[in-house]
Amino acid sequence: MTRHYSVLGVGLGPFNLSAAALLAPHTQTISSLFVEQKPRFAWHPGLLLDDAKMQTSYLKDMVTAVDPTSPYTFINYLVKTKKFYPFTARGEQTVSRLEFSDYMAWVAHQLPNTQFDTPVVNITPHGSGFAVNTPHGQLTCDHLILGTGTQPFMPECAEPFVGEQVFHASELALRQPDLRGKNVVIVGGGQTGADVFQHLFDGEFGKVAHIDWISRRPNLQGLDENPFTDQYFMPDYAEQFHGLDPKVKHTQLAQQKLASDGITENCLQGLYQRLYHDKYVRRSPSWWRLLPGQTLTGMQSHPSGYQLTTTATLTGDSATVDADVVILCTGFSRALPQCLDTLRDCLELDDKDRPNVNAHYRVKMREGYAQALYMMNVGTHCHGIIEPQLSLAAWRAATIINAISGTPLYDIAHHHGLLDWTLAASTSSTAKMQKVAGW
Ligand SMILES: Cc1cc2nc3c(=O)[nH]c(=O)nc-3n(C[C@H](O)[C@H](O)[C@H](O)COP(=O)(O)OP(=O)(O)OC[C@H]3O[C@@H](n4cnc5c(N)ncnc54)[C@H](O)[C@@H]3O)c2cc1C
């Protein structure tokens, strides 16, 4: 039997979980269901490495920013799981990803509007809404919120070798590989590369023989976390960014890379102290190398493992590195999820096959289609570096819910940050006009 909902959500990562938690108190007026293919809530389970830390404050949880009185706050999780006082005595600003994941699972499994073990196979237009097909039957809705996340990115040259010994870091904790006595190459110099290096160094998967850590970046680069950088992660910046010219957005994003894509100070300090102790105090024979400024450009297999070719950014010189195991910490990419294949012809996509998302996260449809599809985490091209990040999860979900309900169910009017972006944005439109006018 087909069940009909006002709002259906596909995927239950943090972003749709926030929408589910904020819609839960309104189920009498806005019926909703959020379906997830996994049997239980799991947040990047292959990367839930022991003690890896969150890059964002636990106050930026699923609901607090727009509804601090919700039962689904991180603080309420601490109270209800009887660890509020021990938590406050930790003397730490950040929480581990394991603990934040446990909090999100606690939310997900008590909500009345979530359903697990329900992969969405395809979605088609259905009257003024959508039909969503799952192996358990069809669901229909007036509004659809897609929160299906990203896909692991593999460098092209590594793709033919992906398997038991060559894999993406997103599978590491799930595989629990036995790395005893192995020569391991880690590819990718961001936070994940650092977390993986640290865990291998500490022998979490057995005492490795040798680790080479290859990074295209010129050095181990820290996360830009100063309070003014943090202004990029606030609603007023996201709103003004959305209105910028696409070319301006592109240059802004390049400048802001380390605000979202660097390694935390804590992690860098921990790494440095380990390496200093190993090299200068214990005087261990060399068993690890950090290799910045090296891009992986080729890969071959040989009888006893793999040979990776790297190209130096500064000189263009090539070098080779041997490996028994290769762990790709090469990030995530965004392609339209497969379940949207049947809806593709209705979407207005740009030349890079990306959807165009308006200020309320509604996807622009082709002429003749008026269905209300909302998408989160579609890429930084619309709302900027904040898009794949948790900072605005609750605000973004509330923005969508307000747009769907047509009333301000949540007060998302916000105080402006300390920086006034309005002039910067208007200068950019003047520049755009000047360019158009040929000045
Ligand atoms: C290791 C790691 C650490 C991070 N740490 C931080 C941090 O500290 N702070 C921060 O701000 N950001 C962090 N991020 C970035 C961001 O918060 C996460 O990537 C976040 O998980 C994005 O949420 P999402 O809901 O878009 O997608 P996801 O978490 O990827 O969830 C998508 C869900 O959709 C489901 N799904 C997909 N297709 C279907 C389908 N057809 N049918 C049903 N279900 C489907 C998937 O199974 C999945 O559960 C981190 C990212 C990673 C990879």
Classify domain 3-150+334-405 at the CATH class level: alpha beta
pLDDT at residue number 275 = 98
Quickly state the pLDDT bin for 171 (edges 50, 70, 90).
very high
pLDDT tens-digit series, residues 387-396: 999 999 999 9
- pLDDT at position 347 is 95
Please give the Cα distance from 103 to 97 (Å, whole number).
10
Q: What are phi and psi of 308, to 5 degrees?
A: -105, 135
Average pLDDT over residues 258-272: 94
- CB burial class (10 A; 0-12, 13-18, 19+) of residue 276? exposed
Section 411-435 average pLDDT: 68
- Distance separating alpha carbons of residues 350 and 386, to the nearest angstrom: 20
Atom of ligand 1 nearest to the CA of 134: 42
Say yes or no to pLDDT of 439 above 50. no
Would you say 324 and 342 are in contact if contact means Cβ atoms under 8 Å apart? no
Q: What is the pLDDT of residue 428?
A: 52
Q: What is the CA(120)–ligand 1 centre distance, in A?
A: 16
**Rounded average pLDDT over 322-348:** 95
Domains 3-150+334-405 and 152-219+287-328 share a fold: yes
In tens, the pLDDT along 30-68 reads 999 999 999 999 999 999 998 899 989 999 999 999 999
C-alpha–C-alpha distance, residues 155 and 236, integer Å: 36
Q: Would the pLDDT of 416 be above 90? A: no
Ligand 1 probe mutation, 8, 15, 41, most atoms within 8 A of CB = 15
pLDDT (tens digit, 9 = 90+) per residue, 77-96?
Answer: 999 999 999 999 998 889 99
β-pairing, 129-134 with 294-302? unpaired
Confidence of residue 425 (pLDDT cuts 50, 70, 90): low
- Ligand 1 atom closest to Cα of 391? 11
> How far, rounded to the nearest angstrom, does the alpha carbon of residue 173 sit from its chain's CA centroid?
17
Query: Which pLDDT value is given to residue 2?
Result: 86
> How is the chain split into domains, by residue range?
3-150+334-405, 152-219+287-328
The length of the chain is 439
Share of the chain above pLDDT 90, in %: 89
Residue of 107, 390, 396, 400 to mutate, ligand 1, most atoms within 8 A of C-beta: 390
Banded model confidence at residue 435, pLDDT cuts 50, 70, 90: very low
The mean pLDDT value for 98-106 works out to 98
Residue list, ligand 1 pocket, CB within 6 Å = 10-16, 35-38, 43-44, 47, 54-56, 97, 119-120, 147-150, 192, 337, 339, 376-377, 388-391
Residue 294 has pLDDT above 70, yes or no: yes
Under 8 Å between Cβ of 220 and 290: yes
- Looking at residue 437, what is its pLDDT? 35
Number of helices (H) and strands (E), helices first, in the chain? 13, 17
Compute, in angstroms, the gap from residue 377 CA to the centroid of ligand 1.
9
Mean pLDDT of the chain: 94
pLDDT level of residue 421 (50, 70, 90 thresholds) = confident
Query: How far away, in angstroms, is 210 Cα from ligand 1 center?
Result: 32
Report CA(14)–ligand 1 centroid distance (Å).
6
pLDDT band at 426 (very low <50, low <70, confident <90, very high): low
The b-or-e profile of 189-209 (16+ CB within 10 A means b, else e) is bbbbbbbbbbbbbeebbeebe
Backbone φ and ψ for 336, nearest 5 degrees, come out as: -60, 135
- Which CATH fold topology does 152-219+287-328 show? FAD/NAD(P)-binding domain (3.50.50)
Nearest CA, atom 4, ligand 1: 54
Query: CA nearest 326: which of 109, 98, 149, 166?
Result: 166
